[in-house]
Amino acid sequence: MPHTITARWLFPVSGPPLPNGTITIQNGTILAVDPHGIRAADEDLGNVAILPGLVNAHIHLDLSGARGLVPPTSCEHFTDWLRNVIAYRGQCTDIEADIRAGIRECQKYGTTLVGDIAVNGQSWASLANAPMRAVVFWEAIGISQPRADHAHEAFRDWLSTIVPTANCRPGVSPHAPYSVRASLFERLAKFALPMATHLAETRAEIDLIERRTGPFVGFLQQLGIYDPDALANNIASIVAALPGAIFAHGNYLPDAISLAPQQSFSYCPRTHAAFGHSPYPLRRYLDRGFHIAFGTDSLASNPDLDVLAEARFAKQCHPDVSGAEILRMATLAGAESLGYANVCGSLEAGKSADLVIVPLPNSDEEPHELLLGERAIPGERRTIFAGTA
């Protein structure tokens, strides 16, 4: 039996918000989304917004035990933070439990799709059984030829052991330009799977890749893995090597480089702020046609895994970006980046009824302001994962 729900505001995201609009659902699939007055509602949820489930395009669930333990440094001392993350990882005892806790936290804030960067693909089993969709990006690190070969083989072995489902799909993530041999980017791209990599996150990374100078040289030398001939020679070559990739951050993308239509950035606003980076050029990137979705990054740099909190923070930081653009970055843009836009990311007939119900303040602002503005209500939300594909 179809079931029709209404609420104060319905946000299809693929179209303008609908006051007292209705969404009609049958067997977990959206049958119709209508303005008020077309269908009688079976259920009125009251002073709330109904949104498509939120999308977190960049997260590291395996660092979900790190909250408060590896505080971000200033961006000038980013390599110190990396050292601390390495030390933290070395003393983790129950990463599976951390991953499960991270998934629960995503779920309670309304996320129904994640792009998870996973050392050894370790989140696979938990995400394949979780009430959400995922791309699990197996994280590859390796500068020397033997380490790059080992990463390549280990990824191929992992791929042969997993069984992709409609809701849990494999991808691969060469970690970053400073930690991955240039040729490994190209070898991993040949798998033709979803890809993600950190890119242009710090000025130090640009100094290393474009000029072989800056703090990364000493950092890699201390780790005993510095090989100037093995790294990529410029950021543009990495962008060119990964045609459909999600690039995490892109805080300092050189001006001469553009993203192709199939490429995207995942922007992590509160992590960006925690490191004190230069203001994120969000308006400029959007005006250049770049595809951008939100991520939370990990609890090693972010206070929580709430994508709507990222969106609200971004709205404060970028008053020249509209509420509709911000909401799209938290939903449909992420689904597009992760290859799930045909099943979720917006409220449209035929898509899965993955929803989040967001309480609204008792005021009369325009709908995006109610959802994202100063009076927006923080906290846990009702999340509905329909699970159909």
Task: Provide DSSP, 151-198.
Answer: HHHHHHHHHHH----SSEEEEEEE--TTTB-HHHHHHHHTT-S-BEEE
- Grouping H, G, I as helix, E, B as strand and the rest as coil, residue 278 is coil
Question: In a 10 Å sphere around its CB, with 0-12 CB exposed, 13-18 middle and 19+ buried, how is residue 55 labelled?
Answer: buried
**Interface residues for Zn ion in 269-288 (CB under 5 A)?**
none
306 binds Zn ion (CB under 5 A): no
62 binds Zn ion (CB under 5 A): no
Question: In a 10 Å sphere around its CB, with 0-12 CB exposed, 13-18 middle and 19+ buried, how is residue 183 labelled?
Answer: middle
- Min CB(11)–Zn ion separation in Å: 28
Q: Which is nearer to Zn ion, 133 or 272 (CB)?
A: 272
- Min CB(95)–Zn ion separation in Å: 16
- Min CB(52)–Zn ion separation in Å: 24
297 binds Zn ion (CB under 5 A): yes
Mask for 29-58, x = binds Zn ion (CB under 5 A) = ------------------------------
Mask for 240-259, x = binds Zn ion (CB under 5 A) = --------x-----------
- Min CB(374)–Zn ion separation in Å: 29
Helix 145-161 × helix 182-189 angle, to 10°: 20
Task: Evaluate whether 284 touches 301 at the Cβ level (below 8 Å).
Answer: no
Strand partners, 18: 10
Q: Which is nearer to Zn ion, 282 or 372 (CB)?
A: 282
- Min CB(350)–Zn ion separation in Å: 33
In the structure encoding, which two tokens stand for residue 93, read together?
A: 């005892």
Q: Which is nearer to Zn ion, 119 or 225 (CB)?
A: 119
The secondary element (H helix, E strand) that includes residue 95 is helix 95-108
Size of the site for Zn ion (CB under 5 A): 2
- Min CB(116)–Zn ion separation in Å: 10
* Residue 150 backbone phi and psi in degrees, to 5: -65, -45
Type of residue numbered 40: A
Map tokens 């601390």 to a residue.
84
Q: Which stretch binds Zn ion (CB under 5 A): 21-29, 160-168, 274-282, 296-304?
A: 296-304
- Min CB(179)–Zn ion separation in Å: 12
Q: Which stretch binds Zn ion (CB under 5 A): 121-129, 293-301, 336-344, 346-354?
A: 293-301
Residues forming contacts to Zn ion in the complex (CB under 5 A) are 248, 297
